[in-house]
Amino acid sequence: MTVGLLVFPGINRERDMAIALERSFGRAPRMVWHRETDLAGIDLVVIPGGFSYGDYLRCGAMAAHAPVMQAVRAHAARGGYVLGVCNGFQILTETGLLPGALLRNAHLRFLSRDCHLRVERADTVFTSRYRQGEVFRAPMAHGDGNYFADAATLDRLEGEGLVAFRYAPPTGNLNGSARDIAGIYAPNLRVLGLMPHPEDLVDPLMGGEDGKPLFDSLATALAA
**Residue 183 to residue 206: CA distance in whole angstroms:** 23
Q: Rounded to whole angstroms, how far apart are CA atoms 86 and 44?
A: 17
Say which residues have a Cβ less than 8 Å from residue 63's Cβ, sequence separation at least 6: 8, 34, 52, 53, 69, 87, 91, 94
CA distance 67 to 75: 13
Known active-site residue 197: yes
Which residue type, as a one-letter code, is found at position 66?
A
Q: Could you give phi then psi for residue 40, rounded to 5 degrees? A: -60, 135
E-strand spans in 149-202? 163-167, 181-185, 191-194
Could you say which of 14, 59, 86, 116 is catalytic? 86
CA distance 215 to 218: 5
DSSP state of 194: E
**Spatial contact of 198 and 161, defined as CB atoms under 8 Å apart:** no
Active site residue 199: yes
- The residues that are catalytic are 86, 197, 199
